[in-house]
Amino acid sequence: MNEAKIKVILENKITLLAKLAVQMEEQVKAVDQNDESSLTQILDEKEAVIESLVSDDQELEKEVALLDEKNRVAIANKLKKLGAQIESEIEKITEMENECEKNLLNEKFELLEKMRSTRNGRTLLKGYGVSARIKPKISGSI
């Protein structure tokens, strides 16, 4: 009974991770294309999938807690292949997430450089503005 339920939970987790990987690919494209509206939508969808994954993890913990040590080891050996698939998907997602974060940081630094150059440009242009009126040193009768 518990083995079948654990297997279903793990298979659902693999499905959710595959869905998350597809969303990560879409996120990378949206970041590359600077498409903020689709990026926001993708992030919302990712959040829902992640919440489902957390829920599955909690359910899995409950099921595993009900098992004795001997059954845990036996089930772990039987479901080793599913565990390897889950690890592979997680590594792929983590790699894409890191790449996306790196791209966003590069974009952030480029934007900061543009802002600095604009600020420096304005400061330099002030020196070429209209000169202040020279006031006479002798006032009054002249």
The whole-number average pLDDT for the span 122-126 is 60
Q: 4-8, 103-107, 129-133: which has the highest mean pLDDT?
A: 4-8
Cα separation values, 120 from 9, 10, 43, 117, Å: 58, 56, 36, 5
The whole-number average pLDDT for the span 13-38 is 88
| Residue 15 scores a pLDDT above 90 | yes
With CA atoms as reference, report the closest residue to 83 among 4, 18, 10, 1: 10
pLDDT for 72-107, tens place per residue? Answer: 888 888 888 988 999 999 999 999 888 888 888 888
pTM of the model: 0.70
Task: Report the alpha-carbon angle 18-42-103, nearest 5.
Answer: 90
Cα separation values, 56 from 6, 11, 52, Å: 10, 10, 6
pLDDT at position 3: 83
Tokens, residue 121: 């440009």
Determine the residue type at 68: D
The answer to whether residues 23 and 46 touch, using CB atoms and an 8 Å cutoff, is yes
Tokens, residue 115: 């802002």
